[in-house]
Structure 1
């Protein structure tokens, strides 16, 4: 019973974080060299998803650092979290081109998007990334010498918060983690204001974008006001470490 429970836990965990990992684990259970078979099966399934997902209406964002638009960390690609519908992919590519045209050598980095298959399948810990129509954009960062291409404050783009005033109560049951203990480990970088403002303005004026989530104090800081820019609410995760965008 304990062994069954253990394998069930592994199956659920791998499915929740990567969608295809649970299937690879079931395959691995049929063999003695379980870990080796799991890694091989998972690699094959993930590679196959790159070609099969477009048939079902999802396309992968590039994982190559040579592209002006790509995933911020290889971990998103390893976990199959880089998929969006074609319209959103095209919109993000256009954003990256616009940023490069306006600011030379600018790279636009994406964070969590969605899994390759099944609309409605949750992408934890997000509340809404379940249909390929939403994606998170990493902030553009700078240090005292100026803009830093390919850089974010945290290794995965998330959880490096830009503190500012908020009306949210700490007593609410919420996903709005402060993670104060973690902030000391991040490098002393700040959002690059010209690029942040330009990106928010472009997204706000783009008909293909329905909503943009970013913390209100950053809206004021970058002075971009639009009916599309909204506060995600106090029970959702903070949005002062990334920009959430979604199709209408």
Structure 2
């Protein structure tokens, strides 16, 4: 029952980060695609193993190397820190991977933010079991990029003010900086208010995905060359 509940939660998501059904069966992944590690206890691991069961954990070999190097760098700076991935690509190697606007060809992956509880203690995993939707909204309404709302199901509400979690700014900013410094990374999407708040205004690779896309104040979207 618990596994079914997790799967249904994954399938119920909407917007850029809404996992769809398992892709058509393939004898082997498309050329150049490799699976991200699925061991939930690893340093590089899925935020929810459902992403592996749904075969949405494939990247190009270069992407895997980028994430492995980023994990090593994070552990050197923050001993015990892990890099948790969310949706990557399916094994078909075709873009887009619905309902994403991109993904599918192995050149994109979503990574979880780091979080702390209200006392400032680091959380081992994102507050939501599937990794998405633990939003960190702007501190002032004037900082909201899409004041008029987003398209369709991408218009997700803010979490309650008394939520049990907060963004771990130090670790999240460090991960974005490590990725942005990697020449194999093409661009990174987060919300503009977080780019400012996390001290990333000089990082040209860090961009806004636009109001046609889902919120990116609950995850880091990474594109590889």
2: CA distance between counterparts of 1:135 and 1:209?
11
For structure 1, list consecutive stretches of 5 or more residues without a partner in the other structure.
Answer: 1-15, 24-44
- Matching residue within 231, 234, 247 for 2:208: 231
* Contact 2:92 2:104 survives alignment (8 Å): no
> Who wins on radius of gyration, i.e. which is larger?
1
What residue is the counterpart of 1:205 in the other structure?
181
TM-score, L = length of structure 1: 0.74
Moved more, 140-149 or 235-244: 140-149
What residue is the counterpart of 2:222 in the other structure?
245
Secondary structure of the residue aligned to 2:21 is helix
1: CA distance between counterparts of 2:81 and 2:44?
9
Secondary structure of the residue aligned to 2:69 is helix
Secondary structure of the residue aligned to 1:19 is coil
Secondary structure of the residue aligned to 2:74 is helix
* Contact 2:149 2:155 survives alignment (8 Å): no
* Contact 1:99 1:106 survives alignment (8 Å): yes
Q: Structure 1 pair 82/187, CA: closer, same or farther in 2 (3 Å)?
A: farther
Secondary structure of the residue aligned to 1:59 is strand
How many residues get paired?
Answer: 200
* More contact order relative to length (CA 8 Å, sep ≥ 6): 2
- Matching residue within 101, 113, 116 for 1:142: 116
TM-score, L = length of structure 2: 0.82
For structure 2, list consecutive stretches of 5 or more residues without a partner in the other structure.
Answer: 1-19
What residue is the counterpart of 2:126 in the other structure?
152
- Matching residue within 89, 94, 104 for 2:69: 94
What residue is the counterpart of 1:63 in the other structure?
38
More helix by percentage: 1
* Contact 2:145 2:191 survives alignment (8 Å): no
1:131-181 Cα shifts (integer Å, max 9, x gaps): 1100000001111142222x102111112211112232435534532235x
1:164-212 Cα shifts (integer Å, max 9, x gaps): 12232435534532235xx35x951112121112111111111010000
